[in-house]
């Protein structure tokens, strides 16, 4: 008997959690997870193909692919083989890159107050990597090793993502069926964007070695996964709230 909206207040009372909605959420999460797991070999192949193509397009030579184990449960994947830069090849390049990136971050620190702590964290990562490059020159990271770490993280994201999508896009908004489309969209975007980011990281390693690896792995790794999920969620919520506001019109004079 209670109305959806609290009149004359602006808020809505709640959204309805029907058994159908819960079932839809669980089914979608299970379906997507099973699809990703069952098709993981194909996914790894396509992922590598996209990454390798982007590397070629950006002028980074690749030397075929090597097999890397993701996890025993997930099997192996192909990883594009590229050259990686080493400190002893050109210390001057490292110094120039380090100084220019520190300057860039400091300018960002000064101009964008919101991002100050984040920039400090990136600076720490950058200086740490530079320290390792200079004082632990024996420490090397091959492109295949980086790809292995990357795929370990991203494969788990692809498996876990459907469960977050189910809660965010289906349980957490009034119209569940539009939420299904959002969930599928974010899954597809996540896969493609992962390949693009990996290619970019390998390209950067090709030119600068270890210097930007921690920064990239942090900023373009899990953080980037969080960001695109959040962006999709914010757009979806905006759309759902606007629609709910529209329904509330019926209670206005």
Partner 1 sequence: MAVLIAIANGCLILTVVVLSAYAIRHYWFTLYRLTLRHPRDFMEVVGFVTPRISVLVPMHNEEKVAADVLQALIECDYDWNKLEILAINDRSEDRTGEIIDEFAAKHSIVKAIHRSEGAGGKGAALLEATSQATGEILMLFDADYFPGRAMLKMLVAPFCDPEVGAVMGRVIPHNTGASVLSALLGLERAAGYQIGQQARFNLGVTPQFGGTVGGVRASALRAVGGWNAESLTEDTDLTFRLVVNGWKVAYVNRAECYEEAPESWQVRRTQIGRWATGHTDCLHRFWPALLGTRHLSPAQKIDALFVLACYWTAPTLVLGWIASLFLFFTPAAHQVPLFAVALAFVGYQLFGNQATFFELGSAALLDGNSRRVYLMPLNLLNFFASTGAICSALLRYYARRISGSQGPGWHKTRRYRAKGNGNLFRNGAASLFIQGANGLYTRNVEAHQP
Partner 2 sequence: MIPWRFALFCAGIGLIVYLHFYFSHRQWRRVRGEVPSDVDPTYVKREDYFAQSFRSKVRDWLNLPSLDGPLGGPRTVLKERETIRVVPELQMEPGAGSSDILVVEGDFRCGPGCALSREIYARGKAAIGAGSQIQAIAADQNVELGDKVTVARWVDSLGELRIGRACVVHSRATAQTIRLAMDAEVQSVFAPLIESDPDPSAQEHAYLPFVVQSLQIPLADAQSAASWKKLGFDNSKLIRLDADSWIYHGSLKPRVPLRLAAKLVVKGDCVCPPGSVLEQDLKTTGRLAVGDGSECRGNLVAGKSLYLGLQVRFSGILHSGAALWLSRGVHGEAGGGNFVAAHAGSSLYMEAGVTVHGKLSGGKHVKVVPASYAEKWRRRYEFSSEKT
Interface residues with partner 1 (CB under 8 A) are: 2, 6, 9-17, 69, 71-73, 113-118, 120-121, 125, 128, 132, 139, 145, 149, 152-153, 156-157, 160-161, 164, 167-168, 171-173, 214, 217, 222-223, 225-227, 229-231, 233-235, 237-238, 240-242, 244-245, 248-249, 252-253
In the complex, minimum distance from the CB of residue 19 to partner 1, in angstroms, rounded to a whole number: 12
In the complex, minimum distance from the CB of residue 192 to partner 2, in angstroms, rounded to a whole number: 10
**Contact positions vs partner 2 (CB under 8 A):** 1-3, 7-8, 10, 54, 57-60, 193, 196-197, 199-200, 203, 207, 227-228, 231, 234-235, 238, 253
Rounded to whole angstroms, the Cα distance separating 167 from 184 reads 13
The label of the residue with tokens 């990597």 reads 129
30: which residues sit within 8 A by CB, 6+ positions away?
Answer: 162
Q: Does 8 sit behind a cis peptide bond, omega within 30 degrees of 0 on the bond before it?
A: yes
Q: Which tokens in the block code for residue 169?
A: 């896009």
In the complex, minimum distance from the CB of residue 87 to partner 1, in angstroms, rounded to a whole number: 15
Please report which helix (H) or strand (E) contains residue 103, including its range.
Answer: helix 91-111
In the complex, minimum distance from the CB of residue 47 to partner 2, in angstroms, rounded to a whole number: 17
- Nearer of residues 196 and 227 to partner 1, judged by Cβ: 227
Rounded to whole angstroms, the Cα distance separating 95 from 97 reads 5
Instruction: Identify what 92 binds: partner 2, partner 1, none; CB under 5 to 8 Å per kind.
Output: none
Do the beta carbons of residue 74 and residue 157 sit within 8 Å? no
Instruction: Identify what 196 binds: partner 1, partner 2, none; CB under 5 to 8 Å per kind.
Output: partner 2
In the complex, minimum distance from the CB of residue 14 to partner 2, in angstroms, rounded to a whole number: 12
Instruction: Name residue 71's beta-bridge partners.
Output: 75
Instruction: Identify what 54 binds: partner 2, partner 1, none; CB under 5 to 8 Å per kind.
Output: partner 2
Rounded to whole angstroms, the Cα distance separating 35 from 27 reads 12
Distance, first Cα to last Cα, the chain: 20
């Amino acid at each position: 008997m209670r109305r959806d909206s609290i009149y004359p207040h602006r808020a809505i009372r709640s959204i309805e959690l029907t058994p159908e909605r819960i079932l839809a959420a669980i089914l979608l999460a299970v379906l997507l997870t099973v699809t990703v797991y069952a098709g993981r070999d194909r996914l790894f192949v396509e992922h590598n193909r996209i990454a390798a193509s982007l590397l070629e397009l950006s002028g980074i030579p690749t030397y075929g692919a090597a097999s890397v184990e993701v996890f025993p449960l997930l099997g192996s994947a192909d990883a594009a083989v590229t050259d990686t830069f080493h400190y002893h090849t050109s210390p001057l390049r490292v110094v120039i890159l380090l100084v220019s990136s520190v300057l860039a971050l400091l300018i960002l620190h000064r101009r964008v107050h919101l991002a100050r702590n984040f920039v400090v964290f990136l600076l720490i990562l950058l200086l740490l990597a530079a320290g390792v490059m200079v004082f632990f020159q024996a420490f090397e990271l091959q492109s295949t090793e980086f790809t292995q770490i990357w795929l370990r993280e991203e494969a788990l994201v692809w498996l876990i993502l459907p469960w977050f999508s189910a809660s965010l896009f289906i349980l957490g908004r009034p119209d569940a069926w539009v939420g299904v489309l959002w969930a599928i969209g974010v899954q597809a975007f996540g896969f493609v964007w992962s390949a693009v980011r990996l290619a970019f990281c390998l390209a950067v390693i090709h030119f600068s070695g270890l210097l930007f690896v921690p920064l990239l792995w942090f900023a373009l790794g899990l953080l980037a996964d969080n960001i695109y999920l959040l962006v999709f969620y914010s757009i979806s919520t905006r759309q759902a709230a606007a629609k709910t506001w529209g329904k509330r019109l019926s209670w206005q004079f």
